Amino acid sequence: MDHAIIVEKLNVWIRGNHVLKDIDLKVPQGSVTAIMGPSGSGKSTLLRSINRLVELVPGTRVKGKVMVFGRDIYSEDPYRVRKDVTMVSQTPNPFPHMSIYDNVAIGPKIHKLVKSKKELDKLVRWALEKAMLWDEVKDRLHEPPTVLSGGQQQRLCLARALALKPKILMLDEPTANIDPVNSKKIEEAIKALVRDEGITVIFVTHTPAQAVRVSDFIAFIYNGRIVEYGPSRELALNPTHELTEKFLRGEIG
Protein backbone atom coordinates (compact mmCIF):
# COMPACT_ATOMS: atom_id res chain seq x y z
CA MET A 1 0.00 0.00 0.00
CA ASP A 2 1.24 3.48 -0.84
CA HIS A 3 1.50 5.79 2.10
CA ALA A 4 1.03 9.53 1.84
CA ILE A 5 2.52 10.07 5.28
CA ILE A 6 4.75 7.98 7.48
CA VAL A 7 5.59 9.34 10.91
CA GLU A 8 8.27 7.50 12.87
CA LYS A 9 9.24 8.03 16.48
CA LEU A 10 8.24 11.69 16.34
CA ASN A 11 8.95 13.66 19.50
CA VAL A 12 8.24 17.37 19.90
CA TRP A 13 9.19 19.62 22.76
CA ILE A 14 7.83 23.16 23.06
CA ARG A 15 9.81 25.23 25.52
CA GLY A 16 10.89 22.10 27.37
CA ASN A 17 7.37 20.69 27.48
CA HIS A 18 7.36 17.20 25.91
CA VAL A 19 4.24 17.59 23.75
CA LEU A 20 4.47 14.62 21.34
CA LYS A 21 5.95 11.31 22.44
CA ASP A 22 7.16 8.56 20.09
CA ILE A 23 4.40 9.09 17.55
CA ASP A 24 4.21 6.42 14.84
CA LEU A 25 1.55 6.87 12.18
CA LYS A 26 1.01 5.62 8.64
CA VAL A 27 -1.56 7.34 6.47
CA PRO A 28 -2.54 5.56 3.23
CA GLN A 29 -2.77 7.70 0.12
CA GLY A 30 -6.31 8.86 -0.62
CA SER A 31 -7.61 8.08 2.86
CA VAL A 32 -9.18 10.22 5.57
CA THR A 33 -7.77 10.04 9.09
CA ALA A 34 -9.48 11.61 12.08
CA ILE A 35 -7.36 12.64 15.05
CA MET A 36 -9.23 12.60 18.35
CA GLY A 37 -8.23 13.24 21.92
CA PRO A 38 -8.71 15.55 24.90
CA SER A 39 -7.82 19.22 24.86
CA GLY A 40 -4.07 19.73 25.16
CA SER A 41 -3.24 16.17 24.09
CA GLY A 42 -1.19 17.35 21.10
CA LYS A 43 -3.59 17.06 18.15
CA SER A 44 -2.83 20.47 16.66
CA THR A 45 0.88 20.03 17.31
CA LEU A 46 0.81 16.73 15.41
CA LEU A 47 -0.77 18.40 12.37
CA ARG A 48 1.69 21.27 12.60
CA SER A 49 4.57 18.78 12.66
CA ILE A 50 3.44 17.32 9.33
CA ASN A 51 3.90 20.61 7.46
CA ARG A 52 6.63 22.10 9.65
CA LEU A 53 4.50 24.93 11.01
CA VAL A 54 5.49 23.74 14.47
CA GLU A 55 9.00 25.07 14.11
CA LEU A 56 7.69 28.63 13.81
CA VAL A 57 7.13 28.55 17.57
CA PRO A 58 10.39 29.65 19.19
CA GLY A 59 11.88 27.08 21.53
CA THR A 60 10.53 24.07 19.65
CA ARG A 61 12.57 20.90 19.15
CA VAL A 62 11.54 18.13 16.77
CA LYS A 63 13.08 14.66 16.79
CA GLY A 64 12.09 11.70 14.62
CA LYS A 65 10.95 11.37 11.07
CA VAL A 66 8.05 12.62 8.97
CA MET A 67 7.97 11.22 5.43
CA VAL A 68 5.54 12.64 2.89
CA PHE A 69 5.33 10.57 -0.28
CA GLY A 70 8.65 9.02 0.58
CA ARG A 71 10.52 12.28 1.24
CA ASP A 72 11.80 13.33 4.62
CA ILE A 73 10.13 16.75 5.03
CA TYR A 74 12.63 17.93 7.62
CA SER A 75 15.33 17.79 4.92
CA GLU A 76 13.19 19.68 2.41
CA ASP A 77 12.42 23.31 1.74
CA PRO A 78 9.70 24.16 4.32
CA TYR A 79 7.85 26.38 1.82
CA ARG A 80 7.58 23.54 -0.62
CA VAL A 81 6.39 21.25 2.19
CA ARG A 82 3.67 23.75 3.14
CA LYS A 83 2.51 23.95 -0.46
CA ASP A 84 2.07 20.19 -0.73
CA VAL A 85 0.65 19.79 2.79
CA THR A 86 -1.78 22.62 3.43
CA MET A 87 -3.68 23.30 6.60
CA VAL A 88 -6.87 24.97 7.71
CA SER A 89 -6.45 26.15 11.26
CA GLN A 90 -8.74 25.77 14.25
CA THR A 91 -10.22 29.26 13.98
CA PRO A 92 -10.96 30.75 10.56
CA ASN A 93 -8.26 33.30 9.76
CA PRO A 94 -8.84 34.82 6.33
CA PHE A 95 -6.60 37.79 5.54
CA PRO A 96 -8.93 40.66 6.52
CA HIS A 97 -7.42 43.31 4.24
CA MET A 98 -7.65 41.22 1.09
CA SER A 99 -10.74 40.52 -0.97
CA ILE A 100 -12.40 37.12 -0.99
CA TYR A 101 -10.82 36.55 -4.40
CA ASP A 102 -7.34 37.55 -3.29
CA ASN A 103 -7.52 35.35 -0.20
CA VAL A 104 -7.74 32.38 -2.55
CA ALA A 105 -5.44 33.76 -5.26
CA ILE A 106 -2.53 34.74 -3.05
CA GLY A 107 -1.08 31.23 -2.66
CA PRO A 108 -1.03 30.32 -6.36
CA LYS A 109 0.44 33.76 -7.11
CA ILE A 110 3.28 33.36 -4.61
CA HIS A 111 4.04 29.83 -5.77
CA LYS A 112 3.69 30.84 -9.44
CA LEU A 113 1.20 28.07 -10.15
CA VAL A 114 -0.51 29.96 -12.97
CA LYS A 115 0.65 31.90 -16.00
CA SER A 116 -2.30 34.17 -16.74
CA LYS A 117 -5.18 36.00 -15.10
CA LYS A 118 -7.55 33.66 -16.88
CA GLU A 119 -5.85 30.61 -15.41
CA LEU A 120 -5.88 32.24 -11.98
CA ASP A 121 -9.61 33.00 -12.26
CA LYS A 122 -10.19 29.36 -13.14
CA LEU A 123 -8.16 28.08 -10.21
CA VAL A 124 -9.88 30.46 -7.75
CA ARG A 125 -13.28 29.30 -8.97
CA TRP A 126 -12.24 25.63 -8.76
CA ALA A 127 -11.03 26.06 -5.16
CA LEU A 128 -14.19 27.92 -4.12
CA GLU A 129 -16.35 25.26 -5.77
CA LYS A 130 -14.45 22.46 -4.06
CA ALA A 131 -14.91 24.27 -0.74
CA MET A 132 -18.64 24.46 -1.54
CA LEU A 133 -18.59 28.24 -1.30
CA TRP A 134 -18.68 29.45 -4.91
CA ASP A 135 -22.43 30.01 -5.19
CA GLU A 136 -22.44 32.08 -2.03
CA VAL A 137 -19.59 34.41 -3.03
CA LYS A 138 -19.49 34.54 -6.82
CA ASP A 139 -21.21 37.94 -6.89
CA ARG A 140 -19.03 39.53 -4.23
CA LEU A 141 -15.54 38.21 -4.92
CA HIS A 142 -14.06 41.67 -4.45
CA GLU A 143 -15.56 42.31 -1.05
CA PRO A 144 -13.56 41.65 2.12
CA PRO A 145 -13.97 38.31 3.91
CA THR A 146 -15.51 40.12 6.87
CA VAL A 147 -18.84 40.17 4.98
CA LEU A 148 -18.97 36.39 5.38
CA SER A 149 -20.36 34.32 8.24
CA GLY A 150 -18.01 32.26 10.42
CA GLY A 151 -18.89 29.08 8.56
CA GLN A 152 -18.34 30.77 5.21
CA GLN A 153 -14.99 32.13 6.41
CA GLN A 154 -14.00 28.60 7.41
CA ARG A 155 -14.83 27.41 3.88
CA LEU A 156 -12.91 30.38 2.46
CA CYS A 157 -9.87 29.18 4.39
CA LEU A 158 -10.47 25.73 2.96
CA ALA A 159 -10.55 27.23 -0.55
CA ARG A 160 -7.31 29.11 0.20
CA ALA A 161 -5.67 25.84 1.24
CA LEU A 162 -6.99 24.02 -1.85
CA ALA A 163 -5.83 26.70 -4.27
CA LEU A 164 -2.28 25.46 -3.72
CA LYS A 165 -3.33 22.10 -5.18
CA PRO A 166 -2.02 20.23 -2.15
CA LYS A 167 -1.43 16.50 -2.06
CA ILE A 168 -2.40 16.44 1.59
CA LEU A 169 -5.00 18.57 3.32
CA MET A 170 -5.08 18.97 7.09
CA LEU A 171 -8.04 20.49 8.91
CA ASP A 172 -7.90 21.34 12.58
CA GLU A 173 -11.39 21.04 14.05
CA PRO A 174 -12.96 22.42 10.88
CA THR A 175 -16.50 22.36 12.23
CA ALA A 176 -15.94 23.10 15.92
CA ASN A 177 -17.43 26.57 15.92
CA ILE A 178 -19.94 26.42 13.11
CA ASP A 179 -23.58 25.45 12.66
CA PRO A 180 -24.83 22.06 11.37
CA VAL A 181 -25.51 23.29 7.83
CA ASN A 182 -21.97 24.63 7.42
CA SER A 183 -20.57 21.51 9.11
CA LYS A 184 -22.39 19.29 6.65
CA LYS A 185 -20.93 21.27 3.74
CA ILE A 186 -17.40 20.84 5.08
CA GLU A 187 -17.97 17.11 5.55
CA GLU A 188 -19.30 16.79 2.00
CA ALA A 189 -16.37 18.82 0.68
CA ILE A 190 -13.86 16.51 2.39
CA LYS A 191 -15.48 13.38 0.98
CA ALA A 192 -15.62 14.82 -2.54
CA LEU A 193 -11.98 15.94 -2.42
CA VAL A 194 -10.86 12.44 -1.55
CA ARG A 195 -13.17 10.80 -4.08
CA ASP A 196 -12.67 13.17 -7.03
CA GLU A 197 -9.21 14.64 -6.50
CA GLY A 198 -7.38 11.83 -4.71
CA ILE A 199 -6.34 14.16 -1.91
CA THR A 200 -5.31 12.60 1.41
CA VAL A 201 -6.98 14.23 4.41
CA ILE A 202 -6.18 14.37 8.10
CA PHE A 203 -8.55 16.24 10.36
CA VAL A 204 -9.04 16.83 14.05
CA THR A 205 -12.49 16.37 15.50
CA HIS A 206 -14.10 16.15 18.91
CA THR A 207 -17.17 14.38 17.53
CA PRO A 208 -17.01 10.58 17.28
CA ALA A 209 -20.07 10.50 15.00
CA GLN A 210 -18.35 12.90 12.60
CA ALA A 211 -15.17 10.82 12.65
CA VAL A 212 -17.20 7.74 11.71
CA ARG A 213 -19.12 9.60 8.98
CA VAL A 214 -16.07 11.08 7.31
CA SER A 215 -12.91 9.12 8.12
CA ASP A 216 -11.46 5.73 7.28
CA PHE A 217 -9.16 5.65 10.31
CA ILE A 218 -9.13 7.20 13.76
CA ALA A 219 -6.01 7.93 15.79
CA PHE A 220 -6.73 8.59 19.45
CA ILE A 221 -4.13 10.75 21.20
CA TYR A 222 -3.77 11.08 24.92
CA ASN A 223 -1.10 13.13 26.63
CA GLY A 224 1.11 13.27 23.53
CA ARG A 225 0.90 9.57 22.65
CA ILE A 226 -1.22 7.67 20.14
CA VAL A 227 -2.90 5.17 22.43
CA GLU A 228 -5.18 3.64 19.83
CA TYR A 229 -5.39 3.59 16.06
CA GLY A 230 -7.65 1.69 13.70
CA PRO A 231 -10.52 1.64 11.21
CA SER A 232 -13.00 4.31 12.30
CA ARG A 233 -16.16 2.33 12.85
CA GLU A 234 -14.36 -0.45 14.67
CA LEU A 235 -12.50 1.93 16.93
CA ALA A 236 -15.57 4.02 17.71
CA LEU A 237 -17.81 1.03 18.42
CA ASN A 238 -15.25 -1.24 20.01
CA PRO A 239 -12.37 0.70 21.52
CA THR A 240 -9.75 -1.57 23.05
CA HIS A 241 -8.05 0.99 25.28
CA GLU A 242 -9.68 2.17 28.49
CA LEU A 243 -8.79 5.80 27.79
CA THR A 244 -10.41 5.70 24.34
CA GLU A 245 -13.51 4.19 25.87
CA LYS A 246 -13.68 6.90 28.53
CA PHE A 247 -13.15 9.62 25.93
CA LEU A 248 -15.90 8.23 23.70
CA ARG A 249 -18.26 8.08 26.68
CA GLY A 250 -17.50 11.76 27.27
CA GLU A 251 -15.80 11.16 30.58
CA ILE A 252 -12.52 12.82 29.61
CA GLY A 253 -11.62 15.64 27.28
Ligand X SMILES: Nc1ncnc2c1ncn2[C@@H]1O[C@H](COP(=O)(O)OP(=O)(O)OP(=O)(O)O)[C@@H](O)[C@H]1O
| 15 touches, from ligand X, Mg ion, none (C-beta below 5 to 8 Å by class) | ligand X
Q: Provide, rounded to whole angstroms, the least separation between the CB of residue 143 and ligand X.
A: 31
| 151 touches, from ligand X, Mg ion, none (C-beta below 5 to 8 Å by class) | none
Question: Residue 160 belongs to what H/E stretch?
Answer: helix 150-162
**Residues forming a β-bridge with 60:** 14
Phi, psi angle pair for 143, to nearest 5°: -90, 160
| Of the residues 31, 33, 44, 153, which one makes contact with Mg ion according to CB under 5 A | 44
Cα–Cα distance measured from residue 94 to residue 160, given in angstroms and rounded to the nearest whole number: 9
CA 59 from chain center: how many Å? 24
Nearest CA among 58, 103, 101, 56 for reference residue 82: 56
Binding mask 37-56 for ligand X (x = CB under 6 A): x-xxxxxxx-----------
Q: Provide, rounded to whole angstroms, the least separation between the CB of residue 43 and Mg ion.
A: 5
Dump strand ranges (E) for the chain. Answer: 3-14, 17-28, 32-36, 60-68, 71-72, 85-88, 168-172, 200-204, 217-222, 225-231
Please, what sign has the CA dihedral across residues 147, 187, 235, 237?
Answer: positive
- Per rule CB under 6 A, is residue 198 in the interface with ligand X? no
| 192 touches, from Mg ion, ligand X, none (C-beta below 5 to 8 Å by class) | none
| 108 touches, from Mg ion, ligand X, none (C-beta below 5 to 8 Å by class) | none
Nearest CA among 102, 73, 93, 94 for reference residue 167: 73
Angle at 169 between CA 167 and CA 173, to 5 degrees: 175
Nearer to ligand X, 14 or 67 (CB): 14
* Part of the chain binding Mg ion (CB under 5 A), chosen from 38-46, 154-162, 228-236, 240-248: 38-46
| 19 touches, from Mg ion, ligand X, none (C-beta below 5 to 8 Å by class) | ligand X
Q: Provide, rounded to whole angstroms, the least separation between the CB of residue 60 and ligand X.
A: 8
The residues that touch Mg ion, with contacts defined as CB under 5 A, are: 43-44
The residues that touch ligand X, with contacts defined as CB under 6 A, are: 14-15, 17, 19, 37, 39-45, 57
